[in-house]
Amino acid sequence: MAAMTSILVRALAALFAAGIAGTAVASESAYPSKPVRLVVPFPPGGGADNLARLVMPRVAQLLGQPIVIDNKPGAGGNVGAEVVARAAPDGYTLLYGTNGTHAINASLYRTMRFDPVKDFVPVSRMTEIAAMLIVNPQLPVKSTAELIEYAKANPGKLNFASAGNGTTSHLAGELFKTQAGIDIVHVPYRGGALALTDLIIGHVHMMIDVMPNAYPPSRDGRVRGLAVATAGRFPGAPEVPTISESGLAGFEASAWDGIFAPAGTPAPIVERLNAAIREALDDPEIVAALRARGAKPVPGTSESFARFINASAERWSVAVRASGAKID
């Protein structure tokens, strides 16, 4: 009798486990069955927000469910990243991550409340984002070399804006300051849009910002675009020289972005998201729109994105140490 009871218990346990597994498989295969929340850890209207809102509607069409963008700015993207790191790993809360949240901040911030590697699954890289050196049109310089010369003649009198402490624009400005050997003052803002507005008005003098923010106002004359911060000239703006070729040899600073899920998100869900993002980034209209904003599509697998992040973090950690920048 005891043996029969034991067999029955084991059989019921097996059926129960199979039922749970079957439910999980069914849930993953039906993903997504409701709207997906994408946390953008930067303010509305900035370069990151604009790129997310350009690409993700097409991803939503491919997934068959809305993607709701939720802006959670603060601490160079750390605030929003922490929200996603603590979210349920079910594919319904995702992060728009950048080289700031996943390559720079770990070296820049003395303390972080999430681990950019252990707390996330890289879903797909999206774009490489060129950065551009821009100045207020009233500043009497028309090239990188002239800017450096002017800054050296006026130590401590020029300032540079950034989208916030720890952002690409902040670190790029610090690198420019260090490599050029000039004394310029950092003025952090809560997002690139606010910084750009004050640059146009003339409250700040210069900025190295991502092309989606910097290139449009440079084309219409609201700011003066001096150079791009990529190693070579950017295909979408071939008329603009690089910082390296126009006054500061060897300078390079470009950004990247991608989509992340909380650690533990099932592989089938990650694969589904990755496939939709890669297909969206192959859309000719999206490709053209991205290039017009200074971004180049670079889709790939989750595994290749993870390898890229590791290499990027190593490069940016060297840059952070060289700049001496640190945030408490």
pLDDT at 195 over 70: yes
pLDDT at 14 over 70: no
Q: Count CA atoms closer than 13 A to 19's CA, side-chain side.
A: 6
Tell me the pLDDT band of 93, cut-offs 50, 70 and 90: very high
For residues 120 and 142, membership in a common domain is answered with no
**Residues ≥6 apart with Cβ < 8 Å to 178:** 322, 323, 324
Element (H, E) at 22: helix 2-29
Q: Note the Cα 206 to chain centre separation in Å.
A: 21
Percent of the chain with pLDDT over 90: 69
What pLDDT score does 32 carry? Answer: 98
What pLDDT score does 105 carry? Answer: 93
What pLDDT score does 23 carry? Answer: 44
- If one counts the domains in the chain, the total is 2
For residues 108 and 147, membership in a common domain is answered with no
Token pair for 162: 């950034």
In a domain, 275, yes or no: yes
For residues 203 and 267, membership in a common domain is answered with no
pLDDT at 196 over 60: yes
Tell me the pLDDT band of 18, cut-offs 50, 70 and 90: low
Q: What is the arithmetic mean of pLDDT over 140-164?
A: 96
Pairing of strands 206-210, 158-162: parallel
What gap in Å lies between CA 241 and CA 219, rounded to an integer? 14
Tell me the pLDDT band of 7, cut-offs 50, 70 and 90: low
What gap in Å lies between CA 284 and CA 16, rounded to an integer? 48
What pLDDT score does 28 carry? Answer: 66
In a domain, 172, yes or no: yes
Percent of the chain with pLDDT over 70: 91
Task: Return the CA Rg of the chain.
Answer: 23
In a domain, 1, yes or no: no
In a domain, 171, yes or no: yes
For residues 137 and 120, membership in a common domain is answered with no
pLDDT at 10 over 70: no
In a domain, 198, yes or no: yes
What gap in Å lies between CA 27 and CA 38, rounded to an integer? 20
CATH code for position 75: 3.40.190.150
Judging by beta carbons within 10 Å of its beta carbon (0-12, 13-18, 19+), is residue 61 exposed, middle or buried? Answer: middle
CATH code for position 177: 3.40.190.10
For 110-147, write each residue's pLDDT tens digit. Answer: 899 999 999 999 999 999 888 999 999 999 999 999 99
- Write down the mean pLDDT value for the chain: 90
In a domain, 122, yes or no: yes
For residues 135 and 208, membership in a common domain is answered with yes
Asked whether the beta carbons of 299 and 277 are under 8 A apart, the reply is yes
For residues 88 and 223, membership in a common domain is answered with no
For residues 220 and 262, membership in a common domain is answered with no
For residues 163 and 297, membership in a common domain is answered with no
Which of 228, 246, 278 is the endpoint of a domain?
228
In a domain, 18, yes or no: no
Measure CA of the first residue to CA of the last residue in the chain; give whole Å: 67
For residues 112 and 135, membership in a common domain is answered with no
Backbone φ and ψ of 265, nearest 5°? -65, 130
pLDDT at 25 over 80: no
What pLDDT score does 19 carry? Answer: 53
For 277-313, write each residue's pLDDT tens digit. Answer: 999 999 999 999 998 888 889 999 999 999 999 988 9
* Segment of 11-25, 159-173, 217-231 carrying the highest mean pLDDT: 217-231
Q: Give the residue numbers spanning the domain of 283.
A: 36-129+255-323
What pLDDT score does 49 carry? Answer: 92
Token pair for 67: 């993607």
For residues 114 and 259, membership in a common domain is answered with yes
For residues 62 and 111, membership in a common domain is answered with yes
Asked whether the beta carbons of 26 and 64 are under 8 A apart, the reply is no
Token pair for 11: 């059989």
In a domain, 4, yes or no: no
Token pair for 61: 């069409």
**Residues ≥6 apart with Cβ < 8 Å to 228:** 130, 131, 132, 133, 211, 234, 237, 240, 241, 242, 243
The type of residue at 85 is A
For 221-265, write each residue's pLDDT tens digit. Answer: 999 999 999 888 888 888 999 999 999 999 988 889 999 999 999
pLDDT at 26 over 50: no
3-state secondary structure 196-223: HHHHHHCCCCEEEEEHHHHHHHHHCCCC
Q: What is the arithmetic mean of pLDDT over 33-56?
A: 94
